[in-house]
Amino acid sequence: MRAIALTILLLALSTTGCRTAEKGSDASGASGSTGAAGGVSGTATDAGPTRRQFDSLIAAGVPHATFAGGCFWCVESAFDAVPGVIATISGYTGGTEPNPTYDMVSSGRTGHAETVTIFYDSATVGYAALLDVYWRNIDPQTADRQFCDAGKQYRTAIFHHDDEQRRLADSSKSALDASGRFSEPIVTEITAATTVTPAEEYHQDFHLKNPERYKEYREGCRRDQRLKELWGS
């Protein structure tokens, strides 16, 4: 009976994907509201710890990268393990709605992608190395979908914050295209970052706050199996 229940749960997770956020665990965490330097800013009503951290890091001029790779919980967890990464903050980027919320973005109508902004110590890890981590944690051949999550909000994208990031991203994508690893073209977009709005507080560090639910979701999406098929062990 337990095995049947687990199968049903995994099926549900694979159907609804990242939308299975435990919204009831902290529904008060809305996105923050202030302008910021470096092409990053956000708007909403929450002044929670993540919003304050985000604004503080931007104001301090800490180098940062913004990537979209499907469900932001999984992208966050991948970069949290990288030496030199100071903070990872889930958010929304690339859309037209000035005050995006999770419900709005997950509807697919705002044009936003789920993203993670990675703040890092450039003396320890460079942007090129972060790109390498990014590629190996996505399926770059699939448009408007990642694993079990479908919709434009789950597209893959590199949102560059300056010309050097754009140059490195273009070079990295060209090298991967030329490698012959994939039979299909790489559809990951490379575009300038506009407004980045941190996501609600309950989404931040989801893999740490809700490890069992995160594990169930990740297994249900067969994310690791697909990554192994694409990239090897």
Here the CATH number for the domain that contains residue 100 is 3.30.1060.10
Q: What angle do CA 226, 232, 233 make, to 5 degrees?
A: 100
Residue 72 maps to a domain: yes
pLDDT digits (tens, 9 = 90+) for 121-156: 999 999 999 999 999 999 999 999 999 999 999 999
Determine, yes or no, domain membership for 5: no
Q: Pick from 33, 136, 38, 124: which is nearest to 85 by CA?
A: 124
Domain count, the chain: 1
Residue at 187 is within a domain: yes
- Over range 184-194, report the average pLDDT: 96
Q: For residue 128, count other CB atoms closer than 10 A to its CB.
A: 12
Q: Answer yes or no: 221 catalytic.
A: no
Strands 156-160 and 189-192: parallel
| Residue 22: inside a domain | no
Residues 6+ apart with CB under 8 A from 216: 9, 10, 13
Reported as a pLDDT band with limits 50, 70 and 90, residue 18 is: confident
Mean of pLDDT over the chain: 85
Residue 80 lies inside a defined structural domain of this protein: yes
The neighbouring-strand residues paired with 196 are 93
- Active-site residue, selected from the candidate residues 18, 71, 74, 148: 71
* Higher-confidence position of 46 and 65: 65
Its pTM stands at 0.84
Mean pLDDT of 80-90: 97
Residue 55 maps to a domain: yes
What is the Cβ-side half-sphere exposure of residue 126, based on CA atoms within 13 angstroms?
A: 6
Band the pLDDT of 19: cuts 50, 70, 90: low
- To which H or E segment does residue 147 belong? none
Q: Is residue 223 part of a domain?
A: no
Q: Which domain holds residue 100?
A: 30-209
Q: Do the domain assignments include residue 141?
A: yes
According to the model, what pLDDT value does residue 77 have? 97
